[in-house]
Amino acid sequence: MNQKSVIYSVRFLILFYVVGITGFVIPLTHSFFKTLTPFALLISAAFLAWFHRPAYTTKTLLVFATIFLFSFLAEMVGVQTGSIFGHYIYGESLGLKILETPLIIGLNWLMLIYCTKIIADQITTSETFKPFLGAFLMVVYDLVLEQAAPKLDMWSWEGGTIPVQNYVAWFVFAFFFHLMIRKAKVQFKNPLAIPVFVIQFLFFVALIIYFMTIRA
C-alpha cells in the first residue's frame, strides 16, 4: 500500500467534507447538499473498501453483510414500532427507503462498526474490553450525530426530544456487532478508518456549532 495514496486520500476526504460544510451553511445550496448525503456516505465507504486489508474473504463478507442486514432491520422495526430506539421518522436526505427506512442506514452502521473496531484495536489489547470500547465510541459519535441529524433532514424525533432509550439501544446493538466480529475472528486493518471516523465526527461538530450560532 502506497503511503502517498493514503495521504492524498485523506486530504481529498478533508476537502470533500469541508466543501460539504460550506454547502450546508450557505442557504442557497443547503437543500441541494442535503440530497448529496447518500453520495457522501457511498464515497466514504468506497475509500474504506479500497484500502481494506487483508483481501476480503467469504467469512468477512458474510459478517459485513450480516451487520448491514441486521442493523437495517433493527432500524426498520424501530421506525415502524418505536420500540427499539424510540419514536422517530426518517427525512428525505438519506435517499431510497423501504418501509420508511433508508437503505443506506445499514451501510452507515457497517461503516461505523468497521471504523470503531479498528480504533478499539489501536487503543487496547484486551479482547474483553474491545467490544465495550467500540460500542462506547459508537454512542459518543451518535451523541453528536443526533444534534445535527434533524437540521440535515436525516431523521427527527417525536416531540423533538432524543430518548435515553436510543443511546442504550445504540450501545447494545453496537456491542453485539463488535462481539460478533471478534467471535468470528474477522481481522482487518485500514489506514483510512480513523481518518474517516474523525473527519465525519468533526463534520457534524462543525455543523452543530454553526446551527447553534445562527439560532443564538
Share of the chain above pLDDT 70, in %: 99
CB neighbours of residue 137 within 10 Å: 22
**Which pLDDT score is estimated for 105?**
97
- Angle at the Cα of 202 (from 201 to 208), degrees rounded to 5? 95
Is pLDDT of 1 > 70?
A: no
CB neighbours of residue 28 within 10 Å: 7
How far is the C-alpha of 184 from the C-alpha of 98, rounded, in Å?
29
How far is the C-alpha of 207 from the C-alpha of 192, rounded, in Å?
22
63-118 pLDDT, tens digit per residue, is 999 999 999 999 999 999 999 999 999 999 999 999 999 999 999 999 999 999 99
Q: What is the pTM of this model?
A: 0.96
Task: Tell me the backbone φ, ψ of residue 87, rounded to 5 degrees.
Answer: -90, 115
Burial string for 75-99 (b: 16+ CB within 10 Å, else e) reads bbebbeeeebbbbbebeebbbeeee
Is pLDDT of 216 > 70?
A: no
